[in-house]
C-alpha cells in the first residue's frame, strides 16, 4: 500500500462549492483533468496515464489503470498537483454543477468506497481509483446510471460531489432503503446493491418514477443526492424552447396545436 499524503482542506460556498487543499512541500493531490480552479505559484501539474495511485508499476500497470478508468466513461488521464515550493501551497477544485462536496476519510470507513462514476472530484495522492461491477446482472441492465461504479481505495482523504442536498445514513444489518437510481452518490462495499421492478405497470407508466428503483441493504453507510445531474439536465432540456425548420420557437404553451393553427403541419 503506498503512503498516503495527509492534506488539509477548506470547503467554500453553499450551492456552488469548491474545495481548497493545502499542500506541504512535496505533498500532492490527484484530480480529474480539467477540474482545477486555481493554484499557488510553486505547485506543478503533471498529467499521468492511469489513476495515479502508484500501485501499478511499469507501462502495463499504467495501461491497466487507464483501462479501468475508460470503462467508467472517464478520461484515460488524470492530473497530479504537487507542491515543489518551500512552504505551504494551495490548489482548489470546483464542483461541476450545483450541489455539495463531501470529504470522506477512507481510513474511517474501512478503506474502500463505491461511488457513481461521475461523483469523484479529487483526492490525496495515493488513493486508488478503480472499477467495481454490481453483483447482479439485473442491476447492470436496468440500473439507469450504468452498472459500473468507481471504487476508491486507500486510507487517505477523498472528495466526491453530489447534486442538490446530501443525505447521509447508516443502515443497520438487514435494513433496506429504496432509492431512485440516480440519487445514489456512494456507499460502503458492505451495502448490498440491487435493482427491483416497481411492481405495478400503472405506477411504472404514469407515476413518473420509472420502471425500476435501487434497493440498498445494510449494514453500511450510504450517501444520497436530492438532484442528480441527469434529472437536472432533463428538466432543462424539457423547458428549453425548440427551434423548428423555419427557425421559429416551438416551445410555446400550445405546442403542436399552435403549429397547426399557424398552418405548419409538417
* Stronger pLDDT, 188 or 207, i.e. the higher one: 188
- Please, which pLDDT band fits residue 229 given cuts at 50, 70 and 90? confident
- How far is CA 234 from its chain centroid? 17
The domain limits of the chain are: 8-239
- Cα separation values, 158 from 7, 82, 139, Å: 10, 16, 26
pLDDT digits (tens, 9 = 90+) for 73-82: 445 578 889 9
Average pLDDT score over residue span 30-55: 79
- Please, which pLDDT band fits residue 7 given cuts at 50, 70 and 90? confident
pLDDT digits (tens, 9 = 90+) for 169-183: 999 999 999 998 889
CATH of 8-239, one of 3.60.160.10, 3.30.70.100, 2.60.40.1120, 3.30.70.260: 3.60.160.10
Q: In the predicted model, is pLDDT for residue 166 greater than 50?
A: yes
- Please, which pLDDT band fits residue 199 given cuts at 50, 70 and 90? low
What whole-number percentage of the chain has pLDDT above 90? 38
pLDDT digits (tens, 9 = 90+) for 54-102: 544 444 444 444 444 444 444 557 888 999 999 999 999 999 888 999 9
**Mean pLDDT score of the chain, rounded to an integer?**
76
Q: In the predicted model, is pLDDT for residue 112 greater than 60?
A: yes
What whole-number percentage of the chain has pLDDT above 70? 67
Residues 6+ apart with CB under 8 A from 120: 32, 129, 150, 152, 158, 159, 160, 161
Amino acid at each position: 500500500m503506498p503512503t498516503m499524503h495527509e492534506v488539509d482542506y477548506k470547503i467554500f460556498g453553499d450551492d456552488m462549492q469548491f474545495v481548497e487543499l493545502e499542500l506541504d512541500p512535496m505533498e500532492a493531490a490527484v484530480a480529474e483533468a480539467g477540474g482545477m480552479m486555481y493554484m499557488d505559484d510553486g505547485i506543478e501539474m503533471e498529467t499521468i496515464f492511469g489513476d495515479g495511485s502508484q500501485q501499478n508499476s511499469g507501462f502495463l500497470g499504467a495501461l491497466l489503470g487507464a483501462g479501468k478508468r475508460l470503462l467508467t466513461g472517464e478520461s484515460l488521464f488524470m492530473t497530479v498537483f504537487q507542491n515543489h515550493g518551500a512552504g505551504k501551497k494551495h490548489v482548489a477544485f470546483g464542483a461541476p454543477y450545483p450541489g455539495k462536496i463531501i470529504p470522506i476519510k477512507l481510513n474511517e470507513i474501512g478503506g474502500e468506497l463505491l461511488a457513481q462514476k461521475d461523483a469523484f472530484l479529487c483526492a490525496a495522492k495515493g488513493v486508488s481509483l478503480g472499477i467495481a461491477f454490481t453483483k447482479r446482472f439485473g442491476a447492470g441492465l436496468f440500473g439507469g446510471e450504468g452498472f459500473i461504479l468507481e471504487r476508491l481505495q486507500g486510507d487517505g482523504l477523498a472528495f466526491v460531489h453530489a447534486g442538490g442536498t446530501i443525505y447521509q445514513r447508516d443502515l443497520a444489518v438487514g435494513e433496506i432503503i429504496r432509492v431512485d437510481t440516480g440519487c445514489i452518490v456512494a456507499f460502503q462495499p458492505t451495502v448490498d446493491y440491487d435493482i427491483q421492478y416497481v411492481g405495478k405497470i400503472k405506477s411504472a407508466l404514469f407515476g413518473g418514477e420509472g420502471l425500476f428503483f435501487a434497493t440498498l441493504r445494510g449494514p453500511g453507510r450510504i450517501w444520497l443526492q436530492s438532484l442528480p445531474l441527469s434529472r437536472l439536465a432533463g428538466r432543462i432540456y424539457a423547458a428549453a424552447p425548440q427551434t423548428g425548420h423555419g427557425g421559429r420557437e416551438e416551445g410555446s404553451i400550445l405546442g403542436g396545436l399552435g403549429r397547426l393553427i399557424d398552418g405548419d403541419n409538417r
